[in-house]
């Protein structure tokens, strides 16, 4: 039946939810039945098992919700371009809806697919949903992008008030999904992944936000909201999250959302920053790139407890606290003089919340090559950082069982020596 009936498709990507979903709302507002589609892309290099597990579990929840309306999610896996070619033959598609993405690979993919679908006579409609403000909304008077956060943030804070009343009530239109039973919902195994238990704490903004500003920098307090994975995959609406924070007057937390928008805007306008320094002279730093030191960093065996605790928490859970991300990134790029791209790539594989814009932004910030970055001559001292943010070693002890025993590694490099070496090396590249 579905193959002859005219349908519209909503392509789920970073918006794995039925409520307050911009493109889905627009799709469901038309008179044509909507089929939900998800593609496990084999083209995308970051397609790790834990991320696939998160996506799969989220889709399964959605499947249950839409089944109540006699509908199903169409799940496909493979080469995204070939899949669209076959969908065009399989269905009588009128329009295709999806929410925008901003990474170089996804922009290129979406441009090609849009062109292909339009060449087949279909209409493609795209919307903003993943961020509060996208590419050209918060720009300078002459319409060029901001490259410094503070003036961007000033303007962002004025404009962001409008999101207190923006909501796309897709949840009210679910009955407009196509009456459609897909073939069996595939198993994770059939999709080529191994079932995995993920360490996912409950998201409770009401509980976390009132003390966020005071406690956010202390990793042992676990005071951040842990919402990053949900924002990455769109299982929570960024607008809903903002509204809640606005009601609680959580300004420091809202500023984090502004950094997120800022980094997405930067990646859009400066796509080369995916793997080149924002400040070009940093491409000339003579990295040491010592492989055994990189291995020690990855495994959390540098002999600096706060660095090691952070890396072990990443390896074990797919999450690392923001303050600790800054410390380990600084340590890798300054103390060990290892190329920030090595660390960025390691995070990309390990972080469940991996998001290219935020990750590249965070790494370039920490190594000094990015927008508004830490100056190259400011080298975090991992010992004083630990004394300040984990004074009783509560966080470190949580992750390093052999801390305070002879089995714990000796410092891989002496701080003052490493600091001076970093400053000299960076200044030779023009700083
Ligand atoms: C080297 C490095 C790499 C990073 N890589 C990523 C990444 O791949 N994915 C990712 O989502 N974040 C990344 N961040 C930013 C930040 O560390 C995480 O967003 C945060 O730790 C997630 O925990 P949370 O949800 O509890 O954060 P909260 O402190 O509760 O903040 C709420 C949300 O605001 C946003 N946010 C807050 N601070 C930042 C920031 N500085 N930059 C961008 N967004 C921010 C995030 O979406 C975050 O989930 C990175 C930071 C650094 C220094």
- 315-343 mean pLDDT: 97
For the chain, the average pLDDT equals 95
The CA–CA distances, whole Å, from 16 to 73, 142, 171, 325 equal: 11, 36, 13, 27
Question: What is the count of structural domains for the chain?
Answer: 3
Verify whether ligand 1 is closer than 6 Å to residue 357 (CB atom).
no
Are 93 and 210 in a shared domain? no
- Is 187 a member of any domain? no
- Name the residue range of residue 227's domain: 131-165+205-269
Calculate ∠ Cα 106-360-381, nearest 5°: 165
- Note whether residue 419 is domain-resident: yes
End residue of a domain, out of 249, 269, 289: 269
Residues 381-429 have pLDDT tens digits of 999 999 999 999 999 999 999 999 999 999 999 999 999 999 999 999 8
pLDDT of 233 reads: 97
**Pair (291, 410) in one structural domain:** yes
227 in the same domain as 110:
no
What's the 265 CA to ligand 1 centre distance in angstroms?
A: 15
What is the pLDDT at residue 371? Answer: 80
Is 50 exceeded by the pLDDT of residue 250? yes
| Token pair for 312 | 């072990």
Cα first-last separation, the chain = 65
Residue 109 Cβ inside 6 Å of ligand 1? The answer reads no
Tell whether 367 and 395 lie within a shared domain: yes
What pLDDT was estimated at residue 1? 46
* Statement to judge: residues 213 and 329 lie in one domain: no
- Best residue among 152, 228, 349 to mutate for probing ligand 1's pocket (most ligand atoms within 8 Å of CB) is 228
Kindly state whether residues 370 and 289 are assigned to the same domain.
yes
Examine residue 198 and state whether it is found in any structural domain, yes or no.
no
Measured from the CB, is residue 400 less than 6 Å from ligand 1? no
* Burial group, residue 142, by CB count within 10 angstroms (0-12, 13-18, 19+): exposed
Tokens encoding 228:
């990053």
Six-digit token string for 354: 């991996």
Residue 359 CA, closest ligand 1 atom number? 5
* CATH code where residue 95 lies: 3.40.50.620
Residue 146's pLDDT is: 96
Nearest CA to ligand 1 atom 18: 322
Mean pLDDT of 332-348: 97
The verdict on 302 and 359 lying in the same domain is yes
Task: Locate 157 and state its tokens.
Answer: 């804070």
Q: What is the CATH number of the domain that holds 323?
A: 1.10.579.10
Point out the domain boundary residue: 220, 242, 269: 269
Residue 69's pLDDT band, with cuts at 50, 70 and 90, is very high
Residue 20 in any domain: the answer is yes
DSSP symbol at 102: -
> Which ipTM value was assigned to this complex?
0.99
pLDDT of residue 376: 78
**Domain contains 220:** yes
Distance 358 CA to ligand 1 centre (A): 7
Looking at the DSSP bridge assignments, the partners of residue 127 are: 99
- CB-ligand 1 contact for 373 (6 Å cutoff): no
Domain identity same for 100 and 144: no
Is 216 a pocket residue for ligand 1 (Cβ < 6 Å)?
Answer: yes
- Angstrom CA distances, 414 to 13, 40, 254, 340, stand at 46, 46, 38, 20
Task: Give the residue, by CA position, lying nearest to ligand 1 atom 26.
Answer: 226
How do residues 194-221 score in pLDDT, each as one tens digit? 999 998 999 999 999 999 999 999 999 9
283 & 408 share domain: yes
CA of 225 to the centre of ligand 1 (A): 10
pLDDT for res 380: 95
Residue-wise pLDDT for 10-26, tens only, equals: 999 999 999 999 999 99
Maximum alpha-carbon separation in the chain: 72
Do 321 and 350 share a domain, yes or no?
A: yes
pLDDT the model gives residue 3: 65
pLDDT at 180: 83
Rounded CA separation 96/120 (Å)? 12
* 353 CB within 6 A, ligand 1: yes
Assess if residue 398 is contained within a domain. Answer: yes
Q: Would residue 233 count as lying in a domain?
A: yes
For residue 256, the ligand 1 atom closest to its alpha carbon is: 37
- Whether 225 lines ligand 1, by a CB cut-off of 6 Å, is yes
CATH number at residue 148: 1.25.40.80
Phi, then psi, of 286 in degrees rounded to 5: -85, 90
Q: Are residues 70 and 138 in the same domain?
A: no
Atom 36, ligand 1: residue with shortest CA distance: 256
Nearest CA to ligand 1 atom 16: 322
Is pLDDT above 80 for 317? yes
Whole-number pLDDT of residue 2: 57
- Do 100 and 161 lie in one domain? The reply is no
Cα 94 to ligand 1 centre (Å)? 38
Give yes or no for a contact between 237 and 75, defined as CB atoms under 8 angstroms apart. Answer: no
Question: Quick one: average pLDDT of 338-362?
Answer: 97
Q: What is the mean pLDDT of residues 34-51?
A: 85
Q: Is the distance from the beta carbon of residue 180 to the nearest atom of ligand 1 less than 6 Å? A: no
pLDDT at 332: 98
Q: Is the CB of 217 under 6 A from ligand 1?
A: no
C-alpha of residue 228 to centroid of ligand 1, in Å:
6
**CB within 8 Å of 185: residues ≥ 6 apart:** 60, 63, 72, 73, 75
pLDDT for 43 equals 75
Residue 400 lies in a domain: yes
- Is residue 91 pLDDT above 50, yes or no? yes
Distances (CA, A) of 353 to 62, 199, 227, 265, 311: 20, 12, 9, 18, 15
For ligand 1, whether the C-beta of 331 sits within 6 Å is: no
């Amino acid at each position: 039946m579905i193959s002859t009936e005219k349908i519209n498709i909503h392509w789920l990507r970073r918006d794995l939810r039925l409520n307050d979903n911009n493109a889905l709302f627009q799709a469901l507002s038309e008179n044509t039945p909507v089929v939900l589609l998800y593609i496990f892309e084999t083209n995308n290099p970051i397609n790790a098992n834990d991320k696939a597990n998160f996506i799969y579990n989220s889709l399964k929840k959605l499947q249950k919700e839409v089944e109540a309306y006699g509908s199903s999610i169409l799940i496909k896996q493979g080469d995204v371009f070939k899949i669209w070619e076959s969908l065009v033959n399989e269905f009588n598609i009128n329009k295709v809806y999806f929410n925008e993405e901003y990474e170089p690979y996804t922009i290129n993919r979406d441009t090609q697919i849009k062109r292909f679908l339009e060449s087949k006579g279909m209409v493609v409609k795209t919307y903003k949903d993943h961020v509060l403000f996208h590419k050209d909304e918060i720009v300078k008077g002459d319409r060029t992008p901001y490259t410094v956060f503070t003036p961007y943030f000033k303007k962002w804070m004025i404009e962001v008030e409008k999101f207190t009343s923006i909501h796309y009530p897709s949840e009210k239109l679910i009955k407009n999904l196509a009456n459609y039973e897909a073939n069996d919902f595939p198993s994770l195994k059939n999709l080529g992944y191994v079932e995995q238990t993920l360490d996912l704490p409950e998201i409770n903004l009401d509980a976390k936000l009132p003390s966020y500003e005071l406690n956010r920098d202390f990793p042992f307090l676990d005071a951040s909201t842990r919402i990053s994975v949900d924002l990455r995959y769109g299982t929570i609406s960024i607008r809903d999250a903002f509204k809640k924070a606005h009601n609680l007057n959580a300004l420091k937390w809202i500023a984090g959302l502004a950094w997120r928008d800022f980094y997405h805007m930067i990646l859009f306008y400066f796509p080369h920053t995916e793997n080149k320094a924002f400040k070009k002279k940093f491409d000339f730093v003579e990295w040491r790139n010592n492989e055994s030191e990189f291995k020690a960093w990855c495994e959390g065996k540098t002999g600096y407890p706060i660095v090691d605790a952070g890396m072990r928490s990443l390896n074990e859970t797919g999450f690392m606290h923001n303050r600790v991300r800054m410390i380990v990134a600084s340590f890798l790029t300054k103390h060990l003089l290892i190329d920030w791209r090595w660390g960025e790539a390691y995070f990309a594989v390990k972080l469940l919340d991996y998001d290219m814009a935020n990750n590249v932004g965070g790494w370039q910030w920490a190594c000094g090559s990015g927008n508004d970055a830490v100056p190259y001559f400011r080298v975090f001292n991992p010992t004083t950082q630990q004394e300040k943010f984990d004074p009783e070693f509560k966080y470190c002890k949580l992750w390093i069982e052999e801390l305070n025993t002879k089995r714990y590694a000796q410092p891989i490099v002496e701080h003052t020596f490493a600091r001076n070496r970093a400053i000299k090396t960076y200044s030779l590249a023009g700083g």
